[in-house]
Amino acid sequence: MKHGITELDKIVDTLSGEARELFNRFYSFEIYTGSQKITAEMEDWVKKRFGSVERVEKQRIVSIKNKFTGEHSLFNGLRTDRPVESKSTIEQEERKEKEKCLFCNPEKQTPADVFGRVRGKYCITGSNIAKYDSFHSLIIFNEHNPLEIKREWIEDYLRTGERWFEEVRKCEGEKKLLQKFFLWNCLWRSGASIIHGHIQLTASRMRYGKLEVLDKVAADYKREFNTGYIEDLYKVHHSLGLASEHKAERVLVYLTPVKEKEIIVVSKARRSDEMADTIYGLLKKYLDMGVQSFNLAIFQLGDYHIVRLVDRGSLADRNSDIGAMELYAASVISSDPFKLAQVSF
């Protein structure tokens, strides 16, 4: 697909009647032009920064909303026209931190869970010292550098996480329903406080609020349309060229991303480690694109395992990528899903 997000209207026009109907069931969108007048004093700077004055004086803005979940993203052509960029990594700083790294010595420097530690081949678990759920622990990678990844390492991390959930279930008694949640905050832009590579695990008795909203969306959708929300979400993305299948997983370049380059994986896998190949492949592509900091979450929704992955921007940036718009209104996005799809599949 050669169009970008700012030509979403043209892209939707090319869909067959049935596909367009399904798209319109899921999404409402509008395309506006934001106009302004550049002063003579600003002209040189604007040309240098954005290429031309005209592009800045008339900006194309796409506002798109998922009608079921309320997820809402705002794209501006001035930002999305840039190519998916490649940046250098942070080798120096990463090496500096290693000397006093607690996670390089996890058995001595991190607490153990009440049932002990789960040991993988390339990782070990530790309890999280400041918990936000009654069971909240860490998969601490043997490798310090979080941007160093291998397929078999990812598989081992996820398998170790699954084994940790089994231990928690034994501890709590099988009857209590515990929610499985993996979260991977990679480097400080993503909220990680420790550089050394680690994934967090929470086993919660209460369904997290945002996931409960998704449960409700899926249940209401089934009642109203007698088909699956996730299946149809995939169909819409597929019809636009924003989805593909990889092994047993379906990969969606999400049309209403929470932040930059959001990718969603849906899978009928019974355990997260069965998705290792797909997750590794996506992370590898992320790193090739120059992504330095990301958030990854894995949770269950009905029969599905869902993975959500999002880029959190350059490690050199001092300003946060999440402001009042993202917290209270809609997400402002610089990455074009259509361009991302071209380099992700």
Q: Which stretches of the chain bind Zn ion, using CB under 5 A?
A: 101, 103-104, 144, 196
**Which is closer to Zn ion, CB of 77 or CB of 197?**
197
Using the 8-state DSSP alphabet, how is residue 143 labeled? S
| Token pair 């991390």: residue | 157
Question: How near is the Cβ of 232 to Zn ion at its closest, in Å?
Answer: 44
Q: How far is the CB of 145 from Zn ion (least distance, A)?
A: 8
Please say which residue, 144 or 271, places its beta carbon nearer to Zn ion.
144
Closer residue to Zn ion, CB minimum distance, 15 or 102 = 102
* In the complex, least distance from residue 122 CB atom to Zn ion, rounded to whole angstroms: 14
Nearer to Zn ion, 103 or 165 (CB): 103
- Which residues are paired to 204 by β-bridges? 179
- Nearer to Zn ion by Cβ, of 87 and 98: the residue is 98
The distance of closest approach from Cβ of residue 280 to Zn ion in the complex, given in angstroms and rounded to an integer, is 21
Sheet holding 72-76, edge to edge: 27-35, 58-66, 72-76, 331-333
The residue assigned the tokens 């959190």 is 312
**Contact predicate 72/65, CB 8 Å:** yes
CA distance 69 to 27: 10
User: What letter would DSSP give residue 207?
Assistant: P
Nearest distance, CB of residue 165 and Zn ion, angstroms: 25
Would you say 19 or 101 has its CB closer to Zn ion? 101
Least Å from the CB of residue 195 to Zn ion: 7
Cα–Cα dist 58/75, whole Å: 14
Cβ distance to Zn ion smaller for residue 128 or 256 = 128
CB of 183 to Zn ion, least distance (A): 19
Q: How far is residue 273 CA from its own chain's centroid?
A: 18
3-state secondary structure of 19: helix
Q: Which two tokens stand for residue 239?
A: 């019809």
Alpha-carbon radius of gyration of the chain: 22
If the CB atoms of residues 197 and 313 are measured against Zn ion, the closer one turns out to be 197
Q: CB of 107: closest distance to Zn ion in angstroms?
A: 13
DSSP string, 26-92: HEEEEEEEEE----GGGHHHHHHHHS-HHHHHEEEEEEEEETTT--EEEEEHHHHTS--------HH
Rounded to a whole number of angstroms, the distance between the first and last alpha carbons of the chain is 13
Residue whose CB is nearest to Zn ion in the complex, by number: 101
What lies within 8 Å, CB to CB, of 213 at 6+ separation is: 69
